[in-house]
Structure 1
Amino acid sequence: LCVLLGFTGALIVVAGDQGLESINLHGLLILLAALSWSLYFALQKRHSGRYDSLTMVCYTIWSGTLLLLVYLPGLWTRVHAASAQVNIALLLLGIFPSALAYLAWAYVLAHSNVSRASMALYLVPPTAMLMASVLLAELPSPWVVVGAGIVLSSVLALGLQPSRRARASSKA
């Protein structure tokens, strides 16, 4: 029921105030990204006992870099054409929000249950919406706020359910 409620909230967020006909290829790419993330979490948790956090992050970052090599032709000329400020910003974005976030996530996954740990990721969209509202004066539509509230409520309800291990120990 919680998962169904979460999907309903996500559908409301995606549709926003423009209706369901506004869902296009970009919306499907977001769903593909969510599926990819779930596969990544499962694989990372499976291998976290064999590899330490730093090794997992290195595999993740270098695999992503390898996939981005399709953009290699012409990269050098674009780097030279960009200002130093832009190049420094890109370097910092690659180090701090990417590499350090992956390292922190790998550490959390190695020391906790993947389903419980991944619930914290649901805080990213509301935080981004809040930051956009405060820093950019962008206000989300009422439907987006309602959908986000439904998603967060479903995650909270799912998080409040006792784990299988806790239910099994209480029965014993």
Structure 2
Amino acid sequence: MTTTPAPAAAPTRDWRAPAAASVTVALWASAFVSIRSAGEAYSPGALALGRLLAGSLTLGVICLVRREGFPTRAAWPGIIGSGLLWFGLYMVVLNWGERQVDAGTAAMVVNVGPILIALLGARLLGEGLPRRLVAGLVVSFAGAAVVGLSMSGQGGASVLGVLLCLLAAAAYAGGVVSQKPALRHDSALRITAFGCLVGTAGCLPFSGALVSEAADAPLSATLNMVYLGVFPTALAFTTWAYALARTTAGRMGATTYAVPALVVVMSWLLLDEVPAALTVAGGLLCLAGVAVSRTRASRPRG
């Protein structure tokens, strides 16, 4: 008598990494709106330093409560690289860029970053570079060019804003690719906390500006700055690192292409800012580029 083996149980999908990525996307979208608001009272460097101080304090308290120690020696190169590029340079340049362009446009241009992450990941981390990714790169950069053209009629300052956002995208990509190897050696919390601390140290030259501007800034701007440090920085960067440790840099970067759409909605509701039609078209091209890069060729079935 033969018995039919019971069918294998379907593998349980781990929902924690996608949930962490979703938290990151929502909070980073809100950051573009908060930066636009707080940037009316704080200069780019002062706002970055204030945000990082709030983030470092929050993460420091969490690390003390959890009795976290120092990162391992092998994690430090990635911590320093991501701290200087992503927590430091990215935040200063993005704050500057958002003084020139609206929040939705900034989010669309900065989100060229995921394509750069995929390219750097392929080159430096051995994650592969399929042809669809190359096609997506071309489409996304075309979208960024359209955004730049749509802003050029508003004066040189707006063009400067687009260029600054592109520089922010490059710093963001470099930071992510620096951080990914470090996550093999230490926890997402420690790498985020010490990366934030490195970025804070890099922004200390803006201390004088922060002190003088905080004395005159309205309470709402200061609260926005604190919000940026606690939620889009301390929380969202930690959930990002948690999810990044469980996937490739290219795949994780692509999840942030939901940010521009959320930013446009938030900036419309909270700031009464709606990008021009050509700007939206350029942003959609950026999104289309990632859709092309993320589509997998169908496999023949036998």
The answer to which structure, 1 or 2, has the higher relative contact order (CA under 8 A, 6+ apart) is 1
> 1:77 Cα shift?
4.6
Does residue 144 of structure 2 align to residue 10 of structure 1?
Answer: yes
Normalising to structure 2: TM-score of the pair? 0.49
Q: Structure 2 unaligned segments of length 5 or more: list them.
A: 1-134
Q: What is the letter of the counterpart of residue 68 of structure 1?
A: C
1:121-160 → structure 2 map (5 Å cutoff): 121-160=256-295
Q: Tell whether the 8 Å contact from 1:11 to 1:147 is kept in structure 2 after alignment.
A: yes
Q: Tell whether the 8 Å contact from 1:17 to 1:142 is kept in structure 2 after alignment.
A: no
Q: What is the letter of the counterpart of residue 104 of structure 1?
A: T
* Aligned counterpart for 1:116 among listed residues 247, 251, 255: 251
Alignment RMSD: 2.6
Q: Tell whether the 8 Å contact from 2:140 to 2:285 is kept in structure 1 after alignment.
A: yes
User: How far apart, CA to CA, are the structure 1 residues paired with 2:170 and 2:249?
Assistant: 15
1:20-169 → structure 2 map (5 Å cutoff): 22=156, 24-73=159-208, 75-82=210-217, 86-161=221-296
User: How far apart, CA to CA, are the structure 2 residues paired with 1:143 and 1:93?
Assistant: 30
> 1:83 Cα shift?
5.3
Q: Tell whether the 8 Å contact from 2:139 to 2:286 is kept in structure 1 after alignment.
A: yes
> 1:104 Cα shift?
0.8
Q: Quick check: 4-13 or 14-23, which moved more?
A: 14-23
Aligned residue for 2:208, secondary structure, equals coil
User: How far apart, CA to CA, are the structure 2 residues paired with 1:28 and 1:17?
Assistant: 11
> 1:19 Cα shift?
4.8
Q: 1:86 to 1:38 in 2, by over 3 A?
A: closer
Identity of aligned residues (%): 28
User: How far apart, CA to CA, are the structure 2 residues paired with 1:21 and 1:87?
Assistant: 30
User: Aligned pairs, how many?
Assistant: 165
Q: Tell whether the 8 Å contact from 2:144 to 2:283 is kept in structure 1 after alignment.
A: yes
Aligned residue for 1:72, secondary structure, equals helix
Q: Tell whether the 8 Å contact from 1:9 to 1:150 is kept in structure 2 after alignment.
A: yes
- Which structure features the higher share of helix residues? 1
> 1:18 Cα shift?
3.6
